[in-house]
């Protein structure tokens, strides 16, 4: 094979076709959306996570099999099916129309490859391993570790690098010189990581593991993939299996090793979902096979994430389990939108409640009457559908109708939007504006502060 020509694509506003609606597409689509591509997915069926994107209007879904005319007008095609014959039809149609095509089933038959990618601020590093995805991932992870450490801390911001030279080239160039001379340095580490990946040594795939595996419940944060904790990101890189919810940042899935099993356990409100028992069964089953399982959850595992139920299920099955806290959307999303949940002289308390059940629902555990009498901030998660009833109940129990209120949709992500109104008007205005889940509702005088973000 001839040498590859590396290239970065500007896809903002340009149509991209994805053929297939399974786990591979679930991993690839978020990166395309983050690049601003106009994504059409052609597949008879979708995973719950892709269903959620389609329902939210983030992608266009054609619920049928591929037709050659689907390629017309597109800038890039991603084939995310494992049927070689079906994939060949797609790549042939793309070849005839001179459109680059990525194939998940057979990279040698594709006209473009997707690299292993890591992102740190403005710096994006893409690694191609010469056809060996494990080598590419091992090298990518070593670079990611370098960028996250003291030597690479200034690179994402374009500050002087490790050698005191200006910009990213200076910092990485210094590491390259050290590696070339056989000294310890970033590139020497990359070489070792790449070799380990190429040979399949322990560490690249977790060989030599104990008979019983383990489970880690990892909070992925509110949506921005950079808001996951360092420990959480490290465990994802080590995982054999990742069981993921819809609200976990999709870009994190694009960084998984190709051989990682991805289980889409997306819980779409009022739509298709795996039962909690099924999720528990998957966690225990994979761990008993000796695998390391990461349960990747949006926000924090213990803030309306059913993390407790999963820990209990693992403990009862004798499976070791670790909990990695995450940045909860209850605080982070309002903060990024310029709304502090507390502020000196304005609010000395805040309460986080679930709004997935209406105030009048017999199973609701929220004391809405007591909540209405408090002066602090009220943050409602999963409450958009029941917002009219929630607002009416708070007002009926004493919260003034002119209390400032806000709804923040898809906070910390590319699709973030904030709507501010009064408590008496917020539900109707959110409906008229077409606000959709996931959304955080904030009620209290802190909404009126209007703190602007840089």
pLDDT for 156 equals: 53
Catalytic residues: 245, 267
What distance in Å separates the CA atoms of residue 336 and residue 132, rounded to the nearest whole number? 40
pTM for the predicted model, two decimal places? 0.77
What distance in Å separates the CA atoms of residue 27 and residue 251, rounded to the nearest whole number? 8
Q: What are all long-range contacts of 62-67, with beta carbons under 8 Å and residues at least 24 apart?
A: 66/19, 66/42, 66/90, 67/42
pLDDT for 271 equals: 57
H or E stretch at 329? helix 329-336
- pLDDT tens string for the chain (454 positions)? 578 888 999 999 999 999 999 989 999 999 999 899 999 999 999 998 898 899 888 999 999 999 999 999 999 999 999 899 999 999 999 999 999 999 989 988 999 998 888 887 788 888 988 878 788 888 888 888 888 776 665 555 555 443 333 333 333 333 332 333 333 333 333 333 333 333 233 333 444 445 899 999 999 999 999 899 999 999 998 999 999 988 888 888 888 888 899 998 866 565 555 588 899 999 999 999 999 999 999 999 999 989 999 999 999 999 999 999 999 999 999 999 999 999 999 999 999 999 999 999 999 999 999 999 999 999 999 999 999 999 999 999 999 999 999 999 999 998 899 999 999 999 999 999 999 999 999 999 999 997 766 5
| 42, 43, 248 from 80: Cα distances, Å | 10, 10, 21
* Residue owning tokens 């200034």: 154
> Which domains are seen in the chain, by residue range?
15-109 (3.40.50.720), 116-199 (no CATH), 214-327 (3.40.1010.10), 330-449 (3.30.950.10)
User: 326: which 2 tokens?
Assistant: 């995450």
CB distance 153 to 145 below 8 Å: no
What distance in Å separates the CA atoms of residue 63 and residue 51, rounded to the nearest whole number? 11
Query: Alpha helix locations (H) across 337-454?
Result: 368-373, 387-396, 426-433
pLDDT for 152 equals: 63
pLDDT for 181 equals: 32
| 18, 22, 30, 46, 66 from 87: Cα distances, Å | 11, 14, 21, 17, 10
């Amino acid at each position: 094979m001839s040498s590859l020509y590396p290239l970065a694509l500007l896809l903002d506003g340009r149509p991209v076709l994805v053929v297939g609606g399974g786990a591979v597409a679930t991993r690839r689509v978020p990166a395309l959306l983050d690049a601003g591509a106009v994504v059409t997915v052609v597949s008879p069926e979708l995973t719950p996570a892709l269903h959620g994107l389609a329902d939210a209007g983030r992608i266009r879904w054609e619920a049928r099999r591929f037709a050659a005319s689907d390629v017309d007008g597109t800038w890039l095609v991603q084939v995310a099916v494992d049927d070689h014959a079906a994939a060949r039809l797609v790549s042939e149609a793309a070849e005839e129309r001179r459109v680059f095509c990525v194939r998940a089933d057979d990279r040698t038959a594709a006209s473009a490859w997707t690299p292993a990618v890591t992102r740190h601020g403005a710096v994006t590093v893409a690694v191609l391993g010469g056809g060996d995805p494990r080598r590419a991932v091992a090298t990518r992870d070593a670079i990611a570790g370098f960028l996250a450490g003291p030597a690479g801390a200034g690179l994402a911001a374009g500050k002087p690098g490790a050698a005191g030279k200006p910009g990213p080239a200076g910092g990485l160039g210094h590491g390259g010189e050290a590696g070339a001379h056989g000294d310890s340095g970033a590139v020497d580490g990359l070489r070792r990581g790449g070799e380990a990946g190429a040979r399949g040594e322990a560490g690249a795939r977790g060989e030599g593991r104990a008979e019983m595996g383990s489970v880690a419940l990892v909070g992925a944060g509110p949506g921005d993939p950079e808001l996951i904790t360092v420990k959480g990101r490290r465990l994802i890189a080590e995982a054999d299996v990742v069981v993921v919810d819809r609200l976990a940042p999709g870009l994190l899935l694009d960084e998984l090793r190709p051989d990682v099993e991805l289980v889409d356990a997306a819980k779409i409100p009022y739509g298709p979902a795996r039962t909690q028992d099924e999720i528990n069964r998957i966690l225990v089953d994979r761990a008993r096979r000796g695998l390391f399982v990461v349960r990747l959850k949006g926000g924090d595992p213990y803030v309306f994430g059913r993390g407790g139920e999963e820990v209990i299920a693992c403990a009862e099955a004798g499976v070791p389990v670790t909990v990695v806290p995450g940045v909860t959307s209850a605080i982070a999303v309002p903060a990024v939108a310029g709304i502090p949940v507390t502020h000196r002289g304005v609010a000395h308390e805040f309460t986080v409640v679930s709004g997935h059940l209406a105030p009048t629902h017999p199973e609701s555990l929220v004391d809405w009457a007591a909540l209405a009498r408090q002066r602090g901030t009220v943050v409602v998660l999963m409450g958009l559908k029941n917002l009219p009833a929630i607002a009416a109940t708070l007002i009926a129990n004493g919260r003034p109708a002119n209390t400032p209120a806000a709804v923040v949709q898809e906070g910390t992500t590319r699709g973030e939007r904030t709507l501010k109104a009064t408590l008496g008007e917020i539900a109707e205005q959110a409906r008229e504006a077409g606000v959709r889940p996931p959304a955080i509702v904030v009620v209290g005088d802190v909404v009126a502060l209007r703190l602007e973000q840089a």
